[in-house]
Amino acid sequence: MTYIENIFVCIAAPLIVTALCMGRKHYRVFFFCLAGMTACLLSAYINTFFARLYNADLINATTQIAPVVEEIMKLLPLLFYLLIFEPKPEKIDTAVLIVAASFATFENICYLTQNGASQLSFLLIRGFGTGAMHIICGAVVGYGLVYVWPRGWLRIAGTAGLLSAAIIFHAVYNLLIAYGGPVQYIAYALPVLTIVIRIGAGRLLRTEPQA
């Protein structure tokens, strides 16, 4: 059994102390860092709840429940930030990436506690694969929200579209990993492929749609 709430306290405590030392100006960064880790902690509880509720085995829980729960949990602190503080667009993507990075870091710490740190090659794949996947999902949502949020006509459909894109990306990644064999190498290549698509999409979204 892994006591993830104890790990959370252990990781969060120095961050809170550092935030207090650094002052109000830097609160935002630490807030999103803690929000990402809290989202990861709560995701673990909610994943377990739904897995029990639907009587899901490990593969079904990984490929169907976890992507939905984790991506929604990552989006919630950002929606709070967007709706309450109405930040400038340039602040949105930084917030999303910090949440995603801290989520991935906390998940990796829990993984290391559970499985040990003896196999460096596997941990490298895990770090660059799963870690990068969380960052990419965060980037998809982050850069997407920067584009979508200032455009009122696109806000609802756009947010739902970005969330569903992140969930499906995450689910496809988990699906390929769960299948194993040579197929899982396609999953490891997915984050890089997404960056290429992002560059292509960036050219398309450079100018404003005309009504």
d(CA 127, CA 117): 12
Shortest reach from residue 145's CB to other proteins, in Å: 14
> 3-state DSSP call for residue 205?
coil
Subset of residues 61 to 120 that bind other proteins, contact rule: CB under 8 A: 61, 63-65, 67-68
Q: Give the total of residues touching other proteins (CB under 8 A).
A: 36
Closer residue to other proteins in complex, CB, 37/163: 163
Interface residue with other proteins, options 89, 150, 161, 202 (CB under 8 A)? 161
> 3-state DSSP call for residue 3?
coil
d(CA 186, CA 190): 6
Directed axis angle between helix 4-22 and helix 89-115, to 10°? 140
Q: Is 175 a residue that touches other proteins (CB under 8 A)? A: yes
- Rounded to 5°, the CA angle 53-116-6 comes to 60
Angstrom distances, CA of residue 168 to CA of 14, 135, 196: 35, 15, 18
Q: Is 153 a residue that touches other proteins (CB under 8 A)? A: yes
Closer residue to other proteins in complex, CB, 196/211: 211
d(CA 12, CA 4): 12
Closer residue to other proteins in complex, CB, 124/183: 183
Q: Is 50 a residue that touches other proteins (CB under 8 A)? A: yes
Q: Residue numbers of the site for other proteins (CB under 8 A)?
A: 50, 54, 56, 59-61, 63-65, 67-68, 153-154, 156-158, 160-161, 163-165, 167-169, 171-172, 175-176, 179, 183, 204, 207-211
